[in-house]
Structure 1
Amino acid sequence: MQVNINGIETRYVLSNEGGGPWLTFVHQLGGDLSIWDQLAGYFRDDFTVLRYDVRGHGRTAVSAEPFGVSDLSDDLAALLDTLGAPSTHLVGMSMGGMIAQQFALDHPSRVDTLTIADSSPGTTPEARGTWDQRAHAARSDGMGALTSTTLSRWLTADFQAAHPEAVEPIREVLAHTLPEGYAMACEALREFDVRSKLGSIVRPTLVVAGRHDSGTPPATSRLIADAIHGAQFELLDAAHLAPIEQSHRFAALLETFLERPV
């Protein structure tokens, strides 16, 4: 389905076979809503599952103007408004985890629970150049120049060798991400920093990290859990896309977490 959100044509998929509480998944930089296909299928009998393509990704249009993560948070709020969802359980991975943190700060009453996977609470000054480099590479050389190195960060070599059928769709989505959409998102993430604000989040929170994540080491994700009172931290035997590489383990963790009283 397509809907205009804050002036941007946005693709979303809603699975509400169960008619239960809302559960929203937000994808990584260079991904799209398809990354959640398996997990959406697992939860759709008990939840109203929402997935969507972030600005400039998948089949959502590229923004005409620069934006920040707060704008991406507002996009999600507007999408929930359009669909009639007062609140949602929120799951974000990597860039999606940054959007989820910002959303929990901007719209706290709309978050039932918060799950953040393989994400950072903010870009340090020394890491800002990395985002600039990725944005420049996408614009000047295209996504093909980034695909191989990105996949090596996202998934362990063992997983890539054992599950080519899972890896190839992820590779295809990354390779076909619009370079300008990717670059603009990089510039938004470069400016992201909520480290001083996370202590104000009071919703039940689950933070998941990949043991072999070189791009966002577990210690970085742990900062989020340490900053949010009562947050649960879990380490999976995976690289950056831990919910995908360890999908069964992640689904079990999330299912147990969502059963906690809110």
Structure 2
Amino acid sequence: MVRVIPMPWGEAAATVVSHPGKPWLTLLHTLATDRSLWSGQVVELAQHFNLLLIDMRGHGDSAAAEPPYSIGGLSDDVVTIWDALEIPASSVAGLSIGGMIALSLAAEHPDRVNAMIAGGCRAQTSDQFRAMWSARRALLTEGGLSAVIDATIPTWFPPESLDANPALPKRVAEMIGKTSTAGYIGATQALEELDLSDRLPAISAPCLLLVGDKDGPHPGEMAKMKEQIAHSDLTTITGAGHLPNLDQPGQFMAAIMPFLIENGAGNGE
């Protein structure tokens, strides 16, 4: 069921898959994708959980707030949607900026997060990270979303993944193409100002960190995060880039399902 939730900045779009008696799992997508990022995992996850798939502001079918955005503001959006849908607590899984939002939720709202999964993310920005987003916004200004698509896909997937799955670039390009200019700018500005490092020790929920072994600097970044989060494990997915649920879906599900089934019920049943 598609739900439209009033927000201070417009309307948020979400898909809800619910069955009485099951605990909740909230799924958060990456920059420049949308809730359909998780379509390959919905059927299996729905056997065990009520699912909430949210389009971040300015992405997919959600309205775009005026930039800048912040990770804290984006995590507050999730809480607003939980409140509107009367979800007392949920597990959370997010990739890239979705993972950073999941980390923020677990640190700031420990009573609302049963367990969390964060993939392909970091806790703190760097000069190189800031420069990358500034360059991407310049590409957007000069060449539109098509230029962003051309720059993004090769950084998200190793060449062998693209060769093995020729339909993958088209699917990802369609998601990027639905992203609003304001949404892309706002989210990249949130990433430029990212600093969750002091909040990681406050996370008390069980935490699974995931990273593809071909995901640029993220294996090292996530190894550092594991040292700061008390109840955390780190799983590396062989052959995966930035979106392991797309290019290595079997390994991805094999990693997350035991963790979620063991830790995901919490107090949200």
Scaled to the shorter chain, the TM-score interval is: over 0.9
Which structure is richer in relative contact order (CA contacts within 8 A, separation 6 or more)? Answer: 2
Q: Is the 8 A contact 2:210 2:237 kept in 1?
A: yes
> For residue 162 of structure 1, what is the aligned residue in structure 2?
164
Which residue identity does 2:223 align to in structure 1?
Answer: R
Instruction: Verify: 1:239 aligned to 2:241, yes or no.
Output: yes
Unaligned runs of 5+ in 2: none
Which residue identity does 2:63 align to in structure 1?
Answer: A
> For residue 178 of structure 1, what is the aligned residue in structure 2?
180
> For residue 251 of structure 1, what is the aligned residue in structure 2?
253
Instruction: Verify: 1:90 aligned to 2:92, yes or no.
Output: yes
Deviation at 1:63, TM superposition (A): 0.4
Deviation at 1:127, TM superposition (A): 2.4
Q: How does 1:176-215 map to 2 (within 5 A)?
A: 176-214=178-216
Instruction: Verify: 1:117 aligned to 2:147, yes or no.
Output: no
**How high is the sequence identity, in percent, across the aligned residues?**
28
Q: Is the 8 A contact 1:206 1:225 kept in 2?
A: no
Instruction: Verify: 1:28 aligned to 2:30, yes or no.
Output: yes
Whole-Å separation in 2 of the counterparts to 1:196 and 1:152: 32
SS of the aligned residue for 2:115 comes to: strand
**RMSD over aligned Cα atoms:** 1.5
SS of the aligned residue for 2:262 comes to: coil
Deviation at 1:139, TM superposition (A): 3.0
Whole-Å separation in 2 of the counterparts to 1:126 and 1:212: 18
Deviation at 1:153, TM superposition (A): 1.3
Query: TM-score, with normalisation over the residues of structure 1?
Result: 0.94
* Counterpart among 31, 36, 39 of residue 37 in structure 1: 39
Which residue identity does 1:35 align to in structure 2?
Answer: L
Which residue identity does 2:49 align to in structure 1?
Answer: F
Q: Is the 8 A contact 1:69 1:102 kept in 2?
A: yes
Structure 1 pair 122–258 and aligned structure 2 pair: CA distance change class (3 A): same
Q: Is the 8 A contact 2:33 2:172 kept in 1?
A: yes
Query: TM-score, with normalisation over the residues of structure 2?
Result: 0.92
Q: Is the 8 A contact 2:106 2:204 kept in 1?
A: no
The number of equivalent residue pairs is 261
> For residue 220 of structure 2, what is the aligned residue in structure 1?
219
Unaligned runs of 5+ in 1: none
